[in-house]
Amino acid sequence: MVPWIIIALLAGMGAATSDALVKRFFSGLSPYEMGLIRLLYSLPWMIFIFAFIPWPKTDLTFWVCIATALPLEITAFFIYMKALKVSPLSNSIPFLAFTPVFVILTGWVGLGERVSFGGFAGIILIVAGSYVLNLSKIASGWVQPVKAAFQEPGSRYMILISFIYSLTSIIGKLAILHSEPVFFGTIYTILMTAVVALLWPFSRARSGSFLARPAAGIILGLAVVFTVICHMVAISRIEAAYMISIKRTSLLFSVLYGAFWFKEEKIRERVAGALLMLAGIFLIGFFT
């Protein structure tokens, strides 16, 4: 059996790749269109997987989790697309490091999970890494790297998204405990796609815009499906705080995409911050 930490790392790589593909090929569209494209191109693969997996026994808790998580997920989804559109990858995505911090609280309240001292220290290092990402601002005062998070729109969006994801991660794990990981991942994404598509008449999306760059869309869809499956399998095996922390290696991958694919600035300090996050991730993996 593949260790959960490897599966979570793959989920992080898939998430960063999906973000980079959306920004590279579809950022000229509206956030709604960017999100719809991401979902529509993953839909055929999700339906294909769904057709070949057994339908597990589900209960009321499972469907309540679905109904509760979907509105939150869709809200975060559109904010996420907006952040990808308006900000550099290396300056916005890293602030998802706040998710495991929020997960400590939501995991304790929602699932009664406990985090060891080593795991907690690792999460603190991840958050410290997000501070280093804006270390060049420290010349104007030690609080400036923190203020930078609220001055940059993409960073503000990502902090809000981190909090929402801390909720949906816990709700999603509860749903998995009352079903099965791949089943939940596929049906959840299919339902989310259907709801987002129903919002088309209320959007300003251009007709046929989702057909733009079909080759890139197909690759994007595969990356999304890969990420969803890895996420669901990994989170079913370990505490949510640990899994989300490891998945946040997507921050490092996003910084590297920003450096090599988008030629973004201040990459050295952002790589340094990402490496500090990896030190935290090592602690989490070692003490789990």
Average pLDDT over residues 2-24: 92
For the chain, domain boundaries: 4-287
Of 39-43, 178-182, 239-243, least confident by mean pLDDT is: 239-243
Give the Cβ contact number of residue 260 at 10 Å. 11
Of 12-26, 79-93, 135-149, 231-245, least confident by mean pLDDT is: 135-149
Distance CA 122, CA 105 (A): 15
pLDDT at 126: 76
Q: Is the pLDDT of residue 202 over 60?
A: yes
pLDDT at 192: 95
Mapping DSSP onto H, E and C, the string for the chain reads: CCCHHHHHHHHHHHHHHHHHHHHHHHCCCCHHHHHHHHHHCCHHHHHHHHHCCCCCCCCHHHHHHHHHHHHHHHHHHHHHHHHHHHCCHHHHHHHHHHHHHHHHHHHHHHHCCCCCHHHHHHHHHHHHHHHHCCHHHHHHCCCHHHHHHHHCHHHHHHHHHHHHHHHHHHHHHHHHHCCCHHHHHHHHHHHHHHHHHHCHHHCCCCCCHHHCCHHHHHHHHHHHHHHHHHHHHHHCCCCHHHHHHHHCCHHHHHHHHHHHCCCCCCHHHHHHHHHHHHHHHHHHHHHC
Q: What is the per-residue pLDDT across 272-285, written as a single tens digit (0 to 9) for each? A: 887 887 777 677 66
pLDDT at 149: 61
Average pLDDT for the chain = 84
* C-beta of residue 285 within 8 angstroms of C-beta of residue 5: yes
pLDDT at 218: 93
Residue the block writes with tokens 């509760």? 68
Q: What is the per-residue pLDDT across 245-257, written as a single tens digit (0 to 9) for each? A: 788 788 889 989 9
User: Is 163 or 105 the better-scoring residue by pLDDT?
Assistant: 163
Distance CA 6, CA 13 (A): 11
- CA distances (Å), origin 9, targets 125, 130, 182, 250: 17, 19, 17, 8
Q: What is the per-residue pLDDT across 43-78, written as a single tens digit (0 to 9) for each? A: 999 999 899 888 898 999 999 999 999 999 999 999
* C-beta of residue 247 within 8 angstroms of C-beta of residue 10: no
Average pLDDT over residues 120-140: 74
Q: Is the pLDDT of residue 146 over 70?
A: no
Q: Is the pLDDT of residue 96 over 90?
A: no
Q: Is the pLDDT of residue 145 over 70?
A: no
